[in-house]
């Protein structure tokens, strides 16, 4: 049965092919590119042309829409992007944590605001170019699963989607591998067929977090402070603690290494460093956990604390204060407060949920 779908078109090859697949299946497709601030006097930050969601990318998305014969619109979400993504990103770093802005961008921008727009347009829901699958879960409801192309798996960034939204979301690329996606784009003559992938955080050019923070929040400019060992002995001086993350080695400038950031203390403008072994953790505590099945899993699971990193066998338990504790069967290295711990079933295929890391334990 033909349905109307709103497709979030970033101007890249993945979302272009997602739109093409739905159109090929006979659905009515409406492409929407989110203008998040580039190209105007109110820019969030200047950005190279290869990054997603800028106005040059909207032109590519529009070109693809013309080729496919579908409607395309560019929608202004600058204010929403700043309040939901930029400002929390800055606040988390200022508090000594390491945020993941892509998770909020997906949940709030794509799968909340765009779902509302889809409803207003009479569409079934929102489709994107994410590499993930939606399929029946063991209880008969819908679940979120890893894609066929594990190298492109993006489920880590989708862990906190409410289960009730899955019926109104489509991931057309879930059963495809990236080479096949590019081949189909070439076959269809899409301008994005060989377009390089965007890398890193879209509003942090070159991956320079500290420079981005200074630009995004005037007054947060870095100031020098001490680098100390765990016992308090001073080892060196940094040029600003905010923007460092646990596990980081680069940029410390210390002799007698290797040294790694163990803790960021922004109130003291202090970095605490240690040897690699001291950053290994067998347990984590999480806040604001969300579970697609409605409750923490009771049996063995697989957990990852970084995108595309291996999962580790673990068990999850709910605490009386509402937090969640995870105990690993083997140590994980340098989990960072502010990052997400994402939980999969024992087969390492179905996403069960996750939460935000507040601390680690031996």
The model's pTM? 0.92
Domain boundaries, the chain: 4-205, 222-274, 279-361
Superfamily for 222-274? Adenine nucleotide alpha hydrolases-like domains (2.30.30.280)
CATH topology of domain 4-205: Rossmann fold (3.40.50)
- pLDDT, tens only, 88-114: 999 999 999 999 999 999 999 999 999
pLDDT of residue 49: 45
- Per-residue pLDDT, 358: 96
Nearby residues of 22 by Cβ (< 8 Å), 6 or more positions away: 5, 7, 29, 127, 170, 172
Residues 6+ apart with CB under 8 A from 237: 224, 225, 226, 227
Residue 284, sorted as left (phi over 0), alpha (psi -120 to 50) or beta, turns out to be beta
Active site residues: 105, 202
Residue range 279-361, CATH number: 2.40.30.10
Are 13 and 193 in contact by the 8 Å Cβ rule? The answer is yes
Average of per-residue pLDDT across 325-354:
97
With a cut of 70, say whether residue 269 has pLDDT above it.
Answer: yes
């Amino acid at each position: 049965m033909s349905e109307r779908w709103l497709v979030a078109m970033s101007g890249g090859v993945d979302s272009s092919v997602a739109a093409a697949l739905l159109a090929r299946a006979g659905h009515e497709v409406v492409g929407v590119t989110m203008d998040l601030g580039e190209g105007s006097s109110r820019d969030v930050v200047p950005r190279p042309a290869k990054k997603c969601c800028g106005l040059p990318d909207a032109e590519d998305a529009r070109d693809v829409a013309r080729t496919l014969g579908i409607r395309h619109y560019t929608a202004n979400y600058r204010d929403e992007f700043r309040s939901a993504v930029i400002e929390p990103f800055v606040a988390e770093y200022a508090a000594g944590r390491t945020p993941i802005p892509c998770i909020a961008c997906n949940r709030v921008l794509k799968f909340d605001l765009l779902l509302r727009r889809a409803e207003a347009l009479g569409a079934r829901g929102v489709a994107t170019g994410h590499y993930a699958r939606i399929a029946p879960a063991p209880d008969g409801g819908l679940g979120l699963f890893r894609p066929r192309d594990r190298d492109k798996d993006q489920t880590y960034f989708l862990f906190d989607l409410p289960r009730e939204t899955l019926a109104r979301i489509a991931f057309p690329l879930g059963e495809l591998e990236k080479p096949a996606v590019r081949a189909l784009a070439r076959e269809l003559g899409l301008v994005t067929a060989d377009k390089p992938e965007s890398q890193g955080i879209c509003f942090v050019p070159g991956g320079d977090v500290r420079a981005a923070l200074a630009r995004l929040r005037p007054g947060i400019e870095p100031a020098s402070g001490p680098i100390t060992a765990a016992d308090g002995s001073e080892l060196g001086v940094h040029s600003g603690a905010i923007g460092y993350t646990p596990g980081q080695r680069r940029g410390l400038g210390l002799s007698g290494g290797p040294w790694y950031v163990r803790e960021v203390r922004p109130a003291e403008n202090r970095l605490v460093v240690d040897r690699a072994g001291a950053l290994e953790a067998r347990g984590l505590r999480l806040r604001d956990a969300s579970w697609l099945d409605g409750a923490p899993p009771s049996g063995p699971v697989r957990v990852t604390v970084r995108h595309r990193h291996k999962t580790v066998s673990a068990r999850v338990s709910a605490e009386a204060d509402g937090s969640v504790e995870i105990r690993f069967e083997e140590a994980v290295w340098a989990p960072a407060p502010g990052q997400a711990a994402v939980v999969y079933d024992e087969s390492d295929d179905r996403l069960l949920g996750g939460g935000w890391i507040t601390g680690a334990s031996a």
